[in-house]
Amino acid sequence: MPSISILPADRVFVLTGAGVSAESGLPTFRASDGLWAGYRIEDVCTPDAWRRDPAGVWAFYSARRAAGQKAQPNPAHFALAGLESQLPGRFFLCTQNVDGLHERAGSTNLVHMHGELAKSRCERECGRPPVEDHAVYASLDEVGHCPCGGRLRPHIVFFGEMPLEMPRIEREIGRATLMIVAGTSGSVYPAASFVHWARAAGARTVYVGPEEPLNAAAFTHVVKGKAGEVLPGLFQVES
């Protein structure tokens, strides 16, 4: 694939998914050996699961924390951080990933639309901000409480809850001229709609991943390959 030019007038919006962390050793969700093959979403990632079985939800996210803490950023994370440094003020990263690998690679202008593993927040939505929390809990007794009395829950967007930072994300998509999407199957909304919003706003749209996503038809280019192998050489920033 010849490189894709990023012109001086371009503004770039990037959306990443679990595939971008696959080469760091973290499993994706929907692969045959992915997380949702071993767990049911309704048991670990819904408001109802939290009400019924907070211990089970914490066991799942404690295991994710333990795995995430061992993982290192891979060339895909570094390529996106490098692109940001070449495009000051013209680059925005929206990740569905709850690991911190983009930040650890050097990305700064980013949002975690599905939350962050390394934080917890009050289950009562009492208004206090999320707190940094790296603990891997062996039992529910170890989980702390908010000053208001609510139990701390993972700072993760459960299915049925509103993703975070949506007004800012919509604003950034509206002004982007190039959308780069990598490592996401296009199964979860609203993220799977972003490419349609970008196309409607006139942007070029590029997908990078080993398989076509469900929304492949909406992309101007689909580049097949692993993000860590494709992203480092895909873009040429023109001055």
Kindly list the residues in this chain that would bind ligand OAD in the complex (CB under 6 A). Answer: 17-20, 22-23, 28-30, 34, 45, 96, 114, 157, 182-185, 187-188, 209-211, 213, 226-227
DSSP 111: E
In the complex, what is the shortest distance from the CB of residue 213 to ligand OAD, in angstroms, rounded to a whole number?
A: 5
Residues known to be catalytic: 114
Measured in whole angstroms, the distance separating CA 18 from the mean position of its chain's CA atoms is 7
Nearest to ligand OAD of 149, 210 (CB atom): 210
- By beta-carbon proximity to ligand OAD, the closer residue of 29 and 78 is 29
The verdict on whether omega for the bond into residue 130 sits within 30 degrees of 0, i.e. cis, is no
Minimal distance, residue 89 CB to ligand OAD, in Å? 27
Question: Which is nearer to ligand OAD, 90 or 215 (by Cβ)?
Answer: 215
Compute the distance between CA of residue 114 and CA of residue 20 in angstroms, rounded to an integer.
Answer: 15
Q: In the bound complex, what is the minimum distance in angstroms from residue 138's beta carbon to ligand OAD?
A: 23
Bridge partners (DSSP) of residue 53 are none
Q: Nearest to ligand OAD by Cβ — which residue?
A: 19
Q: Which is nearer to ligand OAD, 10 or 183 (CB)?
A: 183
Q: Which residue has the tokens 């061992």?
A: 70
Distances 228 to 5, 80, 122, 217, 232 between C-alpha atoms, Å: 19, 10, 36, 23, 7
Task: Specify the 3-state DSSP secondary structure of 28.
Answer: coil
Longest dimension (CA), the chain: 57
Q: How far is the CB of 224 from ligand OAD (least distance, A)?
A: 10
CB 141 to ligand OAD: min, Å: 25
Assign residue 203 a region (left: φ > 0; alpha: ψ between -120 and 50; beta: otherwise). beta
Pairing of strands 12-16, 91-95: parallel
Closest CA to 227 of 128, 79, 61: 79
- Pick between residue 34 and residue 56 the one whose CB is nearest to ligand OAD: 34
